[in-house]
Amino acid sequence: MSAHANLERRRQAIYGWLLLSPAAVLLTLFAFYPSVATLWSSLFSRGTRRKPTEFVGTENYAELFADPTFWIVVKNNLLYAGITIPVSIFIALSMALWANGKIRARGFVRTAYFTPTVLPMIAAANLWLFFYTPGLGVLDQIGSLFGLPSVNWLGQPETALWAIIIVTIWKEAGFFMIFYLAALQTIPADLKEAADIEGASRWTYTRRIVLPLLMPTTLFIAVNAMINSVKLIDHLFILTKGGPSDASKLILYYIYEMAFAFFDAPSAAAMTMMVIGVLGIVAAVQFLYLDKRTHYQ
Amino acid sequence: MTTTPFVKLDGVAKRWNGQLGVEGIKLDIPEGSFTALLGPSGCGKSTTLRLLAGLELPDEGKILIDGKDVTTSAASDRNLSMVFQSYALFPHLSVAENVMFGLKVRRVPKKERLEKLHRALEITGLLGLEDRKPGELSGGQRQRVALARAIVAGQRLCLMDEPLSNLDAKLRNAVRKDIKKLQRDLGITVVYVTHDQTEAMSMADTVVLMKDGHIQQVGSPEDLYSRPNNTFVAEFVGAPPMALLQSSVLDGFGDDKTIGIRAENIQIVPKGEGRMRCTVNESEFLGAETLIGLDHAGAAGLCVLKPGLSMMAEGNEIDISFHDENLHVFDAAGQRLAG
Ligand SMILES: Nc1ncnc2c1ncn2[C@@H]1O[C@H](COP(=O)(O)OP(=O)(O)O)[C@@H](O)[C@H]1O
Ligand SMILES: [Mg+2]
């Protein structure tokens, strides 16, 4: 290779690194370093005045596995993710397909469904508090019209988590719909016309053309929804505080409790590491497996 | 060819919120013919084709295909195929899946499907590319996939909306011949939209020239070229287009008419012997001949062809002459007068 080409290549490489460095510095400072530090501190015991911290290896993890609350939280979170992710994606997709067809009302529908996303989380939670409050809440008011007894939606273990799930779906579906709507706009109108001429029904067209072309969006949304499902905490503060009797406690809330209510930083760190691990594995599977079967334009 | 037309449009009109798309479209298309819809962009060619395809519904008039009134039928019930300007290939499906899409939808058995696919790919020269995605094909190959998808089902009517406009000039010439041959071999009826008069003139049996949503003339290419209905047709068809003179420039034609004359019918004559004196404004070398553009106060688009390379200096004054039998006479409104 000529010296000239070599020089050019090196210039390109330096240019590339220069472009990368701001993001790399920030990520290192605020994401990579904290992750490693968390991993490190999860391997040490909790220090008290009499007993200083010492290296305990996986003991913190073992303790967590033996903690019944941890398993309740994991179960809650799995149920929460297992319901909110598919349901909000399904609702988002249906709403987007519907809103995309109705050209006249499109602007209005889009705004209406997007509103929950624009609302600050705390405001949204307060709004739902107003729906759920026993006796005074909108749900009970409607129920009483039909002679139904008052239900404390947020106050009883059987319904608390479901009440949270519904709030999440309400909030996420509108957000995801915007992504689907944007993706639908990029599908050229003549694909529908070509399918029409070939005799494809609306359903065939949706299933064979639209859904595959929306796959990249679905993948993106699924990863986001999954991350959101372990990120939820602010609704819990307002609506249930994780109760009653841990019935609506999710993983991040428990980590928060561990760290700032029980001051057990090592356990919180251990739990954080597990969340990062699980999220990493699931994201890798989603991208590696689904990516192969996804068409990018 | 049967006496009743295969495709019939009768007084078809389409408007959008009162804005004109097309109006008074009356057209008979015999089976097995190649009809070109020609006109400047925005004149309603695509609208006419889409009305025929069932992608738009007309506000007025009737559409018949193969003797059946299909005015309000769905596109899928009209038994036709279509090639889109953008090709409208499904980007996530392979060539084979794209071509077989319609067969699958119509539940053609797998064995028959594969046979038809093979034949369609063979005809369009796409064998070996079955598994490629449209994104991995060149423009010309994509165009042929669109063509293969249109012929695979064996529909008797095929509509094409500017199928060559995304190809480069050289490829366009080659594909033009391929499409024409395909239409002859398969014996299908093609309705072909183009804004390129060379394309329409060289491919079509019948040319339909449109302007502002109205049909200006329907006829064979030779008809349009040598007997244009009005001054619009005269100026649109032919390269170079017909020159138009005010009748006052010549003796014996009155003052309110327009006279048309084609470049090949004009001769340069020695000074003093011509019927008009003009100024050369440009010389354009075309290869086999040279096109000399001429200026004259009472004429537009006047030019003359000289064999070989023979440029003339700009600003030169020359005399030209022509025979009366080569003149086309149009009345004040631009309509052709008998002759
Ligand atoms: N969907 C539409 N809505 C409103 N106007 C349209 C629509 N489609 C076409 N038109 C109008 O109809 C006229 C003819 O358009 P078209 O048939 O596409 O012309 P072209 O001859 O270039 O194919 C144009 O003036 C265009 O603006
Ligand atoms: Mg057009």
- Looking at the DSSP bridge assignments, the partners of residue A44 are A55
Predicted local confidence at residue A1, as pLDDT: 58
Domain count of the fold of chain A:
2
Ligand 1 binding pocket includes B194 (Cβ within 6 Å): no
Does one domain contain both A149 and A181?
yes
The CATH number linked to A161 is: 1.10.3720.10
Distance CA B332, CA B231 (A): 10
A118 inside domain = yes
Share of chain A above pLDDT 90, in %: 23
The packing angle between helices A211-231 and A265-285, to 10°, is 170
Reported as a pLDDT band with limits 50, 70 and 90, residue A231 is: confident
Distance CA A166, CA A50 (A): 47
A278 inside domain = yes
Does one domain contain both A166 and A266?
yes
Structure tokens at B135: 């994104």
The packing angle between helices A138-145 and A121-132, to 10°, is 30
Residues of A in Cβ contact (< 8 Å) with B53: 193, 197
Which candidate from B88, B105, B135 shows the least CB-CB separation from A204? B105
pLDDT over threshold 60, residue A224 = yes
Does one domain contain both A8 and A68?
no
**Amino acid residing at A83:** I
Does one domain contain both A169 and A115?
yes
A52 inside domain = no
Does one domain contain both A129 and A260?
yes
Does one domain contain both A139 and A268?
yes
Long-range Cβ pairs for the range B312-317 (8 Å, 24+) = B312/B280, B312/B283, B313/B280, B314/B280, B314/B281, B314/B282, B314/B283, B315/B279, B315/B280, B316/B279, B316/B280, B317/B271, B317/B277, B317/B278, B317/B279, B317/B280
Distance CA B59, CA B88 (A): 27
Is the full-model pTM beyond 0.90?
Answer: no
Predicted local confidence at residue A295, as pLDDT: 67
Does one domain contain both A1 and A100?
no
Give the residue among B320, B322, B235 at the shortest CA–CA distance from B276. B320
Reported as a pLDDT band with limits 50, 70 and 90, residue A288 is: confident
| ipTM, two decimals | 0.85
What is the Å distance from ligand 1's center to B24 Cα?
A: 16
- The residue-averaged pLDDT of A50-76 equals 83
Does one domain contain both A86 and A31?
no
A193 and B84: CB-CB below 8 Å? yes
Mutate to test the pocket of ligand 1, among B12, B19, B51, B236 (most ligand atoms within 8 A of CB): B19
Cα dihedral B260, B265, B271, B277, rounded to 10, equals 20
Does one domain contain both A129 and A10?
no
pLDDT tens-digit profile of A74-96? 999 999 999 999 999 999 999 88
Residues of A in Cβ contact (< 8 Å) with B56: none
Predicted local confidence at residue A103, as pLDDT: 62
Reported as a pLDDT band with limits 50, 70 and 90, residue B1 is: very low
Does one domain contain both A267 and A154?
yes
**Residue pair B98/B153 in contact by the 8 Å Cβ criterion:** no
Give the residue among A292, A193, A198 at the shortest CA–CA distance from B92. A292
Q: What is the span of the domain harbouring residue A26?
A: 1-41
- The residue-averaged pLDDT of A115-139 equals 80
From atom 12 of ligand 1, which residue's Cα is the shortest distance away? B21
- Domains of chain B by start residue, with CATH: 7-233 (3.40.50.300), 239-330 (2.40.50.140)
Does one domain contain both A220 and A152?
yes
Does one domain contain both A285 and A172?
yes
Structure tokens at A18: 């220069």
- The residue-averaged pLDDT of B290-300 equals 92
A53 inside domain = no
